[in-house]
Structure 1
Amino acid sequence: MKRQNQTFVCAKPSHLNACVGENGNPTYVQYAIGFSQAANLLIDQVIEDDIKYPVDDFIYPVCFNMRHSVELRLKGAITELQILGTIAGKNLDFDLSGSHDIGRIWNFFKTKSESFDSRYQAINQKIEPTVLDIADVDATGQTFRYPVSTESQKHLVEVGNINFVVLKERFNSLEAHLDTLLGLNDFLIIEYEQDSFIPRLSRVQLFQLALDLPDYSDWHEEKFNETKIELKKKYGLSSNLLSNAINIIKNHYELAPMIGLRVELLGISKEELIKFLTYWHQYHEDAKEKTLAGPTVTSSASIDLFGYIERTSNQRVEICKDASSWITGDKLAGLKALFYFARDFGFSERYIVQYDRECASLPIHQNLKDFEQTFMDLIRKTNGFSNILKSLFFLKHNELAKELIEHFDWIGVFHWQERAETRELFRLPSYSQYRTE
């Protein structure tokens, strides 16, 4: 008969029951956070009262928790690097469970991450000194667990003293840098998922390459051949890889304008967009005044509900009748993609994904009533005009966006317009921090 465990059990009070095993989904990082917080709590207690919590006794659990937390954080970083490798088609095998040598773990991550993407270099330089200090004193996690080694040698003889204040400063700084690394990993996974990269060139390096390319109108000149030779040398690319990179740039909403090209909108033309926005302005006849006034609280008593219902009902009939002569599934998908893309800024590739998703949700044989309902739902969006404009600015259709603002007499109304034109509105919070130097 199997012995029943009476220690690691669920009991009352229920709020002190920790979720483990299949009752949770802990990662290396989540495990690491617990050891890290335990170390910090002990450090603070010792610094506050070293009589009650003697430094000579608490140094071992503190340093063990610190060291184990760092090992787990680095293993978590390798796990995310392996996800990046899978996206990019690279094999980054490492025995995570079988290795506890923190120096070896760090060397693998540092070498592989920096060869994968140069943006790792800056944060790795900040992490490395403290990790190497840990590796020097406790490479395999035994120094702070036992007083002697497996060869019966006393630990820490060459160290002698460890200061808790220095320990706190160094560990807290390392934790902050490891948090930055975690953010960079998360960011790069999302970036690489957009599939705008080639071997040797990340997405951000494609932006740099686009800056190095001459205007597309000059590509027919003999001088462009010399430019390509220089670029292949600068970026270490073959002719084939350079051609692949250039093809990505030519068909990319953010990159193409950097060489004097523009990628057309999906499913919708300028004329059709103006038609749609004309309907939207008819339906939201006081939209500009409300935008200028800002957020207000309107009493329901002040609204002519029946008049509003009658007006919008008549407008729906007129709008749907007029739109039926030109609106199709792909055009509606194009309009919806522009509207919803504004909720998911970051990468222009997501606009294409959004359009494909909208096309898939609007089958050819969709019921006409449902089709009209979908169209009118988009018309009813009070932020329809602003969302579409923001998407146009993000996709670098600035002239069209400004033309629409002028056409519908909204000049100077949107407080965010200048930031959209300069792209400050769309700046990724982590981009400047992780840019290639």
Structure 2
Amino acid sequence: MRQKSVYETRVYSLIGDLAQLAKVSKRPLTAEVNRVIGQHDIKNLWDYFVQNAAVIDRRFSQETAPLDAHIKCIAETDPTGQTFRYSYDTLSVKHLTDVSLINVLVLQEQFQDIKEHFKKIRLLMGYLRHEYRTGTFTRHLSRADIVSIAELLPARDQWGTANFTAAKTLISTTYDLSGKELSLAFTIIQKNRDTARMIGLPVTVPGLSVADFIELNDIWKTAWDRNVLDKKLRDYIYASSLSGPELMSDELNFLNSAQKDLGQAGQLFNQWATPEKLAGITALQHSGGDLFCEEHDHRFACHLKEMNVAANIGGAIWQAEIDGIWASSVSRPYYPAQTVEKLKRAGFTQEAATVADHLFA
């Protein structure tokens, strides 16, 4: 059986990954994939990948273009994948008899370049799979396209003006969109938090209002003496760098001096808690590594389902949820600073400022 070259194997792998991305993006590969794969021709495989990748997302073109010349060279020099492995082919004909000199250092450099470009394509593939899983795209627009369109739009309260009409015409021409798809893009922009901010629309933290954050600050102040913790809280929130580590015994003594009435604060938190609010706190706590706001929304929706189930069961099950979230959030001495940091990272800068201002008021 014919042995595939390492680069042919890599292109096969890329086509497999592209097939997965095609499903996520709802942009299926052309039906001829089985015929192309069956040919075992690296040039045909590469051309198939390049053409279909560009149809799924135009960002692929920037990464595939540098490899075109390399793949063509490989296809011409090593079509069977055996030229550099063996001295003779399967018909006992010596390889590369028409090549007088091969610079091994140049060859190594080119192979390394090919390897790096394949790596970039794989990284882009993973990123795009992540992006398309947000569900924010249309038939012809990726999420990145929609963000770029939002950047071209005036503030929402200016829609209907001449500036909006001009932007609309530019966008329609640039992306070759029908009126229906353009309207869909505008709807997505207004509903998506990341793009809604760009056109001046107000956004909210899933499950939590500004009033909730203020009330949580007050509950926290029942548990902890803000005056005692003031300097450390300000350092955490405002300082560009923190002081060095302290002895654990010193920190414990310090926190003991700052503690007020955790029991009373816990009761107030218990009265405040609802499934939606607890889901909001939990989703925010885990928001640090999000690339897209949809991840936060998805996490909130999952936690809300869990909280609703627990609340419907009631009793010890529901109380355990409340106690667990209390213990991991508002009951902690540096909860306000941690909340400000989480809000900032999630893009809720206005809410972060409100929490900080109210904390030190």
Give the TM-score category using the shorter length. 0.7 to 0.9
8 Å CA contact retained: 1:253, 1:396: no
CA distance in 1, matches of 2:230, 2:250: 23
CA distance in 1, matches of 2:207, 2:65: 47
**Equivalent of 2:265 in 312, 319, 344:** 319
Q: How does 1:111-190 map to 2 (within 5 A)?
A: 111-144=51-84, 147=87, 154-190=94-130
Is this contact kept in 1: 2:88–2:94, CA < 8 A? yes
Contact 1:338 1:392 (8 Å CA) reproduced: yes
Is 1:264 matched with 2:204?
yes
Identity of aligned residues (%): 25
Q: 1:340 aligns with which of 286, 291, 296?
A: 286
Single out whichever of 170-179 and 385-394 deviates more from structure 2.
Answer: 385-394
Pairing 1:244–2:184 present: yes
Query: TM-score normalised to the size of structure 2?
Result: 0.83
| Separation of aligned partners in 2, 1:218 and 1:277 | 37
The 1:83–1:390 alpha-carbon spacing in structure 2 relative to 1, beyond 3 Å, is farther
Distance (whole Å) between structure 1 residues aligned to residue 170 and residue 358 of structure 2: 45
What letter corresponds to residue 326 of structure 2 in structure 1? Answer: M
- The correspondence of residues 176-325 of structure 1 with structure 2, limited to 5 A, is 176-221=116-161, 224-225=164-165, 227-285=167-225, 286-290=228-232, 292=235, 294-300=243-249, 303=252, 308=256, 315-325=261-271
Distance 1:127 1:226 in 2: 39
The change in CA–CA distance for 1:136 and 1:86 in structure 2 (over 3 A counts) is same
Report the equivalent of 2:239: none
Find the counterpart in structure 2 of residue 353 from structure 1.
298
Residues 66-88 of structure 1: CA deviation (Å, up to 9, x unaligned): x8222222222211111110001
**Contact 1:281–1:287, Cα closer than 8 Å, also in 2:** no
The root-mean-square deviation of aligned C-alpha atoms, in Å, is: 3.0
| 1:330 maps to 2:272 | no
Distance of 2:134 and 2:281 partners within structure 1: 22
Match of 2:8 in 1: 71
Cα distance in 1 for partners of 2:342, 2:47 equals 43
Q: Distance in 2 between the 1:157 and 1:338 partners?
A: 66
Look up the SS of the partner of 1:341 in the other structure.
coil
Change beyond 3 A, Cα 1:382–1:179? farther
Deviation at 1:128, TM superposition (A): 2.2
Letter matched to residue 124 of structure 2: L
* Aligned counterpart, 1:409: 360
The CA deviation at 1:255 is 0.6
> Is the counterpart of residue 90 in structure 1 residue 27 in structure 2?
yes
Structure 1 runs (4+) deviating above 6 angstroms are: none
What TM-score, normalized by structure 1, do the two folds share? 0.70
The 1:374/1:159 distance shift into structure 2, 3 A limit, reads: same
How far did residue 152 of structure 1 move? Answer: 6.7
Change (3 A) 1:296 1:153: closer
Report if the CA contact (8 A) 1:213-1:259 is conserved: yes
Residue identity opposite 2:349 in structure 1:
N
The one-letter amino acid of 1:336's match is: T
Residue 50 of structure 1 corresponds to which residue in structure 2? none
Query: How many angstroms does 1:200 deviate by?
Result: 1.4
Structure number with higher helix proportion: 2
User: Deviation string for 1:244-295 (max 9, x for gaps)?
Assistant: 1111110111111111112222221101111113333554545553453634
Distance 1:174 1:387, change over 3 A: farther
Q: Which deviations, in whole Å up to 9, do the C-alpha atoms of 1:81-107 show, x marking residues without a partner?
A: 111100011222523863421111111
1:109 is displaced (CA, Å) by 1.2
**In structure 2, what residue type is equivalent to 1:83?**
Q
> Over residues 13-46 of structure 1, what are the superposed CA-to-partner deviations in whole Å (9 max), with x where a residue is unaligned?
xxxxxxxxxxxxxxxxxxxxxxxxxxxxxxxxxx
- Read off the aligned partner of 1:90 and give its amino acid letter: R
Aligned residues: 342
Q: 1:372 deviation in Å?
A: 3.4
Which ranges of structure 1 fall in alignment gaps of 5 or more residues?
Answer: 1-63, 411-437
Counterparts of 1:129 and 1:341, CA distance in 2: 43
User: Which residue type is aligned with residue 278 of structure 2?
Assistant: L
Contact 1:340 1:387 in 2 (8 A): no
CA deviations on 1:122-160 (whole Å, 9 max, x unpaired) are 221222222221111112324345555567755323323
Q: How far off its partner does 1:225 sit?
A: 4.3
Higher mean Cα deviation, 223-232 or 257-266? 223-232
Aligned-pair CA distance for 1:165: 0.8
Residues 282-329 of structure 1 show CA distances to partners (whole Å, capped at 9, x for unaligned) of: 545455534536342324388459x94x986x7332113323443211
